[in-house]
């Protein structure tokens, strides 16, 4: 396969984790004879700095003309602390999601046996957790009209949804459930919000087309509690843009680190793959950022293009890194391995899995020759 991939590393730790993701993809290309052609472009704070625009035209055009986008992170504390800033890095990502029609954001949540102690949640609660958040990505409060008055004493963000927007992601969620444990949980606030009542109506109707899938409903406040008190109950969690943003960060606590959480954003024509952790500016250039979320985003990319064996190989390499504890400090206090070392281990494993070196549990602290 030949894939042209736009690489938007962005801000903060974006460039360093994306470099590791590219290494993993390159390794897959070598082993399975695919050609991945990368083309870099600017987005976010770095794009504002260089061009005045968080999503330069050139970047958008590149993304419109590639098979997929590999995305790093966006944001800069400089803007976070300035509520008056008119141009913000995040606008680049929001515009890109809209322009590419990326209406579904898919975030898998899993408890890794080896990492249960990294999570503040009890092992008994975590064990066997495996669900996917289907977050609507093109509508809701993120994209409704925004207003403020001249004095700066009033602000409003409109939350809007139409039937079509809900329908598109709902079908994807039900199809995914059919290939899994056949359960969709719609998370909303239908006791208060009109948009949530519309979601319930539309989703209930669509559910009739999938008689093998069970649909249930949960209010978002209750869901926030259930995600950490009884996460095993979820299979596909379907929700709107804002709730999905919040709940998926919360759910990352299950896996032990947000540095493990990958995502795929899908539209009818385009797709974007991105770690969910954000820019984490404090860690920039310190070789401590966890590259696994970016690398698992590559696994989602491969899966999306039907390269299932290749995707599984990436996941296996990541699991191997976790099992042998070649992980960054977020997963193991005092770990001697950094962003580059974890990335090297994973791409080396992809290329040389058959090596004796990987056959033994050889990669222990102090014994490693390759990392
Ligand atoms: C995410 C991020 C973005 C969002 C920000 C950076 C705009 O938090 O992808 O979850 O809120 O969607
Ligand atoms: Mn978020």
- Catalytic site residue 359? no
- Catalytic site residue 249? yes
Does 107 reside within a domain?
no
Kindly compute the dihedral angle of the four CA atoms of residues 49, 52, 55, 58, in this order, to the nearest 10 degrees: -100
The last residue of a domain, from among 255, 270, 287: 255
Which residues on neighbouring strands pair with residue 273, listed in sequence order? 70, 264
Assess whether 222 and 281 both reside in one domain.
Answer: no
Q: What is the residue-level pLDDT of the chain in tens, covering all 371 positions? A: 999 999 999 999 999 999 999 999 999 999 999 999 999 999 999 999 999 999 999 999 999 999 999 999 999 999 988 878 889 999 999 999 999 999 999 999 999 988 988 899 999 999 999 999 999 999 999 999 999 999 999 999 999 999 999 999 999 999 999 999 999 999 999 999 999 999 999 999 999 999 999 999 999 999 999 999 999 999 999 999 999 999 999 999 999 899 999 999 999 999 999 999 999 999 999 999 999 999 999 999 999 999 999 999 999 999 999 999 999 999 999 999 999 999 999 999 999 987 766 655 555 444 444 43
Assess whether 146 and 240 both reside in one domain.
Answer: yes
Task: Note the ligand closest to the C-alpha atom of 90.
Answer: 1
The CATH number for 76's domain is 3.40.718.10
Does 109 reside within a domain?
no
φ and ψ at residue 130, rounded to 5 degrees: -165, 95
Assess whether 96 and 221 both reside in one domain.
Answer: no
Task: Note the ligand closest to the C-alpha atom of 91.
Answer: 1
**221 Cα: distance to centroid of ligand 1 (angstroms):** 20
Assess whether 216 and 136 both reside in one domain.
Answer: yes
Locate the ligand 1 atom nearest the alpha carbon of residue 245 and give its number: 10
- pLDDT recorded at residue 307: 98
Does 115 reside within a domain?
no
Number of domains in the chain: 2
Does 22 reside within a domain?
yes
Does 112 reside within a domain?
no
Query: For residue 30, what are the contacts with CB-CB under 8 A and spacing of at least 6?
Result: 351
Residue 345 Cα distances to 1, 312, 349, angstroms: 25, 16, 6
Q: Which domain holds residue 64?
A: 1-102+259-371
Does 79 reside within a domain?
yes
- Ligand 1 pocket at CB < 6 A: 74-75, 90, 93-94, 245, 276, 278
Assess whether 223 and 283 both reside in one domain.
Answer: no
Q: Which residue's CA is the closest to the ligand 1 atom numbered 7? A: 90
Query: For residue 272, what are the contacts with CB-CB under 8 A and spacing of at least 6?
Result: 63, 68, 69, 70, 71, 96, 97, 100, 102, 264, 265
């Amino acid at each position: 396969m030949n894939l042209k991939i736009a690489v938007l590393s962005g801000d903060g730790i974006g460039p360093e984790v994306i470099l590791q993701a590219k290494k993993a993809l390159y390794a897959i290309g070598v082993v399975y004879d695919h050609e991945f052609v990368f083309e870099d472009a600017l987005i976010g704070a770095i794009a504002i700095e260089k061009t005045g625009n968080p999503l330069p035209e050139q970047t958008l055009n590149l993304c419109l003309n590639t098979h997929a986008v590999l995305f790093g992170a966006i944001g800069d504390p400089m803007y976070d602390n300035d509520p008056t800033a008119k141009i913000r890095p995040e606008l680049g990502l929001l515009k890109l999601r809209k322009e590419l029609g990326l209406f579904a954001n898919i975030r898998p949540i899993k408890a890794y046996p080896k990492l249960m102690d990294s999570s503040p949640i009890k092992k008994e609660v975590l064990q066997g957790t495996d669900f996917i958040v289907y977050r609507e990505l093109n509508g809701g409060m993120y994209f409704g009209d925004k207003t403020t008055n001249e004095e700066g004493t009033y602000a409003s963000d409109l939350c809007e949804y139409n039937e079509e927007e809900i329908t598109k992601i709902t079908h994807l969620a039900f199809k995914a459930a059919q290939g899994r444990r056949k359960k969709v949980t719609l998370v909303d606030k239908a006791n208060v919000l009109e948009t949530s009542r519309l979601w319930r109506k539309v989703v209930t109707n669509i559910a009739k087309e999938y008689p093998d899938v069970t649909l249930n409903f949960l209010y978002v406040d209750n869901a926030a509690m259930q995600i950490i008190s009884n996460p095993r109950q979820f299979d596909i969690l379907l929700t709107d843009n804002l709730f999905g943003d919040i709940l998926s960060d919360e759910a990352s606590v299950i896996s032990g680190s947000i540095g493990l959480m990958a995502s795929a954003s899908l539209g009818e024509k385009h797709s974007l793959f991105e770690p969910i952790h954000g820019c984490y500016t404090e860690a920039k250039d310190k070789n401590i950022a966890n590259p696994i979320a970016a690398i698992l985003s590559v696994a989602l990319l491969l899966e999306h293009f039907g390269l299932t064996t290749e995707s599984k190989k990436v996941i296996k390499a990541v699991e191997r890194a976790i099992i042998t504890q070649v992980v960054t400090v977020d997963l193991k206090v005092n770990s001697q391995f950094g962003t580059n070392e974890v990335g090297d281990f994973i791409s080396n494993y992809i290329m040389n899995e058959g090596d004796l070196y990987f056959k033994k549990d050889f990669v222990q602290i102090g014994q490693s020759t390759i990392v």
